[in-house]
Amino acid sequence: MHKNILEIQKSILQEQKEKERKSNFYSNMRLIIFILSLVEMIIYFNTRSTLHIALTVVLICFFIIMVIIHHQIDKEIDRFKNLLSIIEKYSNRIDEKWKEETYSINESKENFIGDLDIIGKNSLMQFLDFTSSLGGKRKLIKTLSLENVSQKKIQDNQGSIGELKTNFNFCLNFKERLDKIENIENIDFKELFSLFDKSIQTKNCHLILSLILSASTILSLVLSILKIVNPALFLVLFFLQLAISYIYSIRYNEFFEDIGNSSRIFSKLMESFNYVDSFEFKDSQNQKLKTEISRGKSIIKDLSSIREFDLFRTNFITNVLLNVFFSLNFILLYKYSKLLSTHTENFKTSIKALEQFEVLISLTTICFVKNNTCLPIIEDDLKLNIADMRHPLIEEEKCVTNSFSCNRDINIITGSNMSGKTSFMRTIGINLILAYSGTYVNSASFSCPIMKIFTSINVKDDIANGISTFYGELKRIKDILDYSENHNEALIVFIDEIFKGTNYNDRILGAKETLKSLASLNCIVFLTTHDFELCEIKSKTIYNYHFRETYKDNKINFDYKIKEGQCKTTNAKYLMEQMGIIKKKHKA
């Protein structure tokens, strides 16, 4: 997929250069025609020749045409720049430059969110996020936080993303159209739905009366100009119309503000709605989202029409003239009340569908920037089967692959410091998040059941609430046991250096009891430890794995490959010697 992105980038760059060449040509032509028109105008004023005034008019017409064409070309150049900016964002995800981007977003309360780097700076969320609107971003957070995970939802998303994977241009152009909306990243469409939650009653008789007054004002103006009636009649009707429109603007000020704010933003979505509506989808969920968006187009058109009227209302001169002669405020309120009587629920659904496309396009990111991906198979049995798995947040060329299979087991992982124990668990966890979100995983093959994820990895003390690291670990373990008692679900548990916050004897005792409790649950457990005593527990469901280091020329090397059995080496002494914490012993 990398090559496809690069080819599209190259093609857009070529088109941009061609448009820039044309822009320069039309810019020069505009200048030449402008100078020629000035010359012809000067000659005309000196000669009063009909030919020269005709040539001046022709040149001015050509100048206007050139301005229009030049403006359209510059708009295309801006579009190409926006597209290239989006492509660059994809390219940054190939070589980890994305971590240099400014990104700030609140984390979820779920423990696994922080432990597995799902949301926050340098997280899976930042890596995937190609949403534009605030609502789309919130939906993506909910998806990655695994709210309401189900087999059907996973399958629906897999179908949608499978089709979007082959339509990079759609994803690119969809985002470009949304990004053009000013301040889109701070717009929450849901908040603007208040426009449709209000009601206003406009009586037809009021509208008819206002139109009669407007017609009377126009007629009195014409008759006064013709000196058929006294001009005072026109002035009376003029100020009466102004007074009525002023009263309406004060009385319905809140409605006018809603109309202005909401119509201004929603009307800008028409281009995105039209683009989705013009695209042919084969996947059923994509077709459903397209249909929902299509149903909202009629209201977008009405909102655009209302927006045009509202622009006249916000201008002082047009506000006065149109309220006097055409009852602008009455017509605006009438169109607004008529809009509220339509099926506005369809419009709300269409906005949600647009936001869902943002989420699906974001989830498709991994397909565009990673070469080694697959759609995970969701099994019914409690077992994991993984081949050549990578961590999606690490550059693919630098990332070591691991394969792993297990059933309803407790997997104890030992190994030296920095050998890859915690990273291995996080790699499984973050790929599970991708799988449950309904997108591709960074693996050659990946099958798993739906499991509730629990982690105890990055446990920190909480001074404000008087919680130590050890007590925080205890709370995590208790949450697992309590959840299992109240829910008939499969679990997967990741525990890093169990009970590292307490002394050796209590740690061993607590760890053994915890393993005994977890062995009785319907779960898969991954547990890292430096305590080899835990590896000696005899149980049919406990398996030992390890990571190993090697030494060459007094340098430590890691292969980051998981291996069966217990670790037999340590590197703490070596690292302390390297850092000068303890003195090296020289051989005699």
Q: Where are the domains of the chain?
A: 2-92, 114-189+364-369, 198-359, 377-578
Q: What is the mean pLDDT of residues 103-119?
A: 78
Confidence band for 531, pLDDT divided at 50, 70 and 90: confident
Per DSSP, the three-state class of 516 is helix
- CA dist., res. 53 & res. 532, Å (int): 99
pLDDT in tens, 80-110: 999 999 999 999 998 888 988 888 776 556 6
Q: Please give the full DSSP string across 223-291, using - where no structure is assigned.
A: HHHTTSS-HHHHHHHHHHHHHHHHHHHHHTHHHHHHHHHHHHHHGGGHHHHHHHHHS---SHHHHHHHH
pLDDT for 364 beyond 50: yes
Residues 339, 248: Cα–Cα separation, whole Å: 19
pLDDT band at 578 (very low <50, low <70, confident <90, very high): low
pLDDT at 230 over 70: yes
Q: What is the pLDDT of residue 588?
A: 44
Q: Which two tokens stand for residue 151?
A: 């087999």
Identity at 549, one-letter amino acid code: E
How far is the C-alpha of 214 from the C-alpha of 95, rounded, in Å?
Answer: 66
Phi, psi of 51 (to 5 degrees): -60, -45
| Structure confidence at residue 575 as a pLDDT band (50, 70, 90) | low
How far is residue 194's CA from residue 185's CA, in Å, rounded to a whole number?
19
The pLDDT of residue 584 is: 64
Least confident of 110-114, 271-275, 528-532: 110-114
Contacts 24+ apart (CB under 8 A), 106-111: 108/141, 108/145, 110/145, 110/146, 111/454, 111/455, 111/456, 111/476, 111/479
Q: What is the CATH architecture assignment of 377-578?
A: 3-Layer(aba) Sandwich (3.40)
What's 462's DSSP letter?
B
Q: What percent of the chain has pLDDT over 90?
A: 49
Going by pLDDT thresholds of 50, 70 and 90, the confidence category of residue 29 is very high
- Residue 52, both tokens: 């020269």
Q: Which of 218, 300, 224 is nearest to 266 (CA)?
A: 300
- Sheet of 445-448: strand order equals 377-378, 445-448, 384-389, 402-406
Helix axes 253-266, 297-314, angle to 10 degrees: 120
Q: Bridge-partner residues for 387, per DSSP?
A: 445
Among the ranges 150-159, 259-268, 564-573, which has the highest mean pLDDT value? Answer: 150-159
Q: What is the mean pLDDT of the chain?
A: 86
Nearest to 263 by CA among 189, 207, 316, 320: 189
**For the purposes of burial, counting CB atoms within 10 Å of the CB of 144, is it exposed (0-12), middle (13-18) or buried (19 or more)?**
buried
Is the pLDDT at 208 greater than 80? The verdict is: no
Residue 153: name the closest of 362, 365, 378 by CA. 378
pLDDT at 343: 65
d(CA 200, CA 211): 20
Kindly state the tokens that stand for 131.
């949403």
Considering the entire predicted model, what is its pTM? 0.84
pLDDT digits (tens, 9 = 90+) for 376-422: 999 999 999 999 999 999 998 889 999 999 999 999 999 877 788 99
Q: What one-character DSSP code corresponds to residue 387?
A: E
